[in-house]
Amino acid sequence: MVVLATTPAALDQISLLRSSPEPLFFPGVPAVDLSSPGAALAVVDACQRFGFFKVVNHGVPMGVVDRLEAEAVRFFASPQVEKDASGPANPLGYGNKRIGRNGDMGWLEYLLLAVNHQGSVSKASPVPSSSLREVVNEYVGAVRGVATWVLEAVAEGLLGVARRDALSGMVADAGSDQVFRVNHYPPCPLLERLPDSCSVTGFGEHTDPQLVSVLRSNGTPGLQVALRDGRWLPVPPDRDAFFVIVGDSLEVTKHPSPSIAYIHLLYQKVLTNGRMKSVRHRVVANSLKPRVSMIYFAGPAPEQRIAPLPELLGQGHGEQGPLYRDFTWGDYKKAAYRSRLGDDRLDPFRI
Ligand SMILES: O=C(O)CCC(=O)C(=O)O
Ligand SMILES: [Fe+2]
């Protein structure tokens, strides 16, 4: 984070970031072709090594994606007073710059909606128009298929074909906690007044709490993922692909004595007892072009226990037993609401 002597007032409390002198784009984002015979193994490998990958040949009709993007652009271009009618986000609804309740700010506006276990926007969510509701339902219905496919591949890879639905079943259960979010990052002209070495936070660094997130964006760059060595790597946008992000619930590993470096990495997670990695990511603002992203987050029901799957305990990796106490998704969510975006939200659950 950077502090300047004269930060433009319009940035309010939005943090500045130091731009890294890295090459422009990371060429190594693993790409998985869902139509290829080796796709399941490639998914498991990518989840284990990066916690992040993109999928192509995903089978989601691009017409639905384009319709949703057009509806989202229309909504974000509508008068502020109309957008405010669906907010302030608490946590659902329309939000502007403020993310969560604990002081995180970013150069963006967004709409956050709850999705029921059948994949439709829940009645309680403040959706601005029936046309937006319709197209979100259609879109979520389609990308849920990608999330299910990924969770099935992971379960099969770790537990065998008989337990293929061990993870995806948690999302299909009645009462599962699924969320859909559409983010709009307007161009940030203030960037031109900042030194080249600075950028502006669009969405601050964090891990996604759920099992898995499926992200799609327009062609504007901004998304960055953290590698294990702490470097931030820009992800080349691909408007025809989906990016899959492993969430905290899927990851949770263990480590005998967490060192500072290890805490930085945060590659420790629960259900898979560390086999999968959740990945820290963030978005930086763009000076010229708007970025629109849509993310479907697949989470379990509030009463779902988040503990290592018993089959995965004591299978090598030097582990003696779980390093996290049993907790439910509901417990985790409550703790997450009290935390800042970039906090290690699993900390309260470490043994
Ligand atoms: O907008 C993006 O590209 C990423 C946003 C994100 O990480 C999130 O909404 O959790
Ligand atoms: Fe995220």
pLDDT tens by residue, 213-260 = 999 999 999 999 988 777 888 899 999 999 999 888 876 433 333 322
Is any ligand 1 atom within 6 A of the Cβ of residue 76?
Answer: no
User: What is the per-residue pLDDT across 25-34, written as a single tens digit (0 to 9) for each?
Assistant: 555 789 999 9
This model of the complex carries an ipTM of 0.99
Most confident of the following: 4-8, 62-66, 160-164, 254-258: 62-66
Structure tokens at 348: 């309260």
Share of the chain above pLDDT 70, in %: 83
pLDDT for 105-153, tens place per residue?
Answer: 999 999 999 999 888 999 889 999 999 999 999 999 999 999 999 999 9
Ligand 1 atom closest to 295 (CA): 9
- Whether ligand 1 lies within 6 angstroms of the CB of 253 is answered as no
Q: How much distance in Å is there from the Cα of 258 to the middle of ligand 2?
A: 24
Pocket flag, ligand 1, residue 283 (CB < 6 Å): yes
Ligand having the closest approach to the CA of 237: 1
Whether pLDDT at 315 is above 60: no
Average pLDDT of 192-196?
A: 83
pLDDT for residue 267: 28
Q: Residue 183: CB within 6 Å of ligand 1?
A: yes
Q: How far is ligand 1, taken at its centre, from the CA of residue 283, in Å?
A: 7
pLDDT at res. 313: 63
24-33, 164-173, 296-305, 311-320: range with lowest mean pLDDT: 311-320
**pLDDT for the residue numbered 3:** 43
- Residue 295 Cβ inside 6 Å of ligand 1? The answer reads yes
Given the CA of residue 202, which atom of ligand 1 is nearest to it? 1
3 or 194: which carries more pLDDT confidence? 194
Is 70 exceeded by the pLDDT of residue 7? no
184 touches ligand 1 (CB under 6 Å): no
Query: Which ligand 1 atom minimizes the distance to the CA of 281?
Result: 7
| Residues 55-85: tens digit of each pLDDT | 999 999 999 999 999 999 999 999 999 999 9
Residues around ion ligand 2, judged by CB within 5 A, are: 208
pLDDT at 163 over 60: yes
pLDDT of residue 18: 79
Q: What pLDDT, on a 0 to 100 scale, did the predictor assign at position 154?
A: 85
Region 84-105: mean pLDDT is 93
- The span from the CA of 308 to the CA of 240, in Å, is 35
CATH topology of domain 28-253+264-349: Jelly Rolls (2.60.120)
Could you give phi then psi for residue 39, rounded to 5 degrees? -60, -40
Q: By mean pLDDT, which of 223-227, 298-302, 309-313 is the weakest?
A: 309-313
pLDDT in tens, 206-219: 999 898 999 999 99
Q: Is the pLDDT of residue 266 over 80?
A: no
64 contacts 145 by C-beta, under 8 angstroms: no
Verify whether ligand 1 is closer than 6 Å to residue 176 (CB atom).
no
Average pLDDT for the chain: 84
Domain range annotation of the chain = 28-253+264-349
- To test ligand 1's pocket by mutation, which of 283, 289, 291, 296 has the most ligand atoms within 8 angstroms of CB? 283
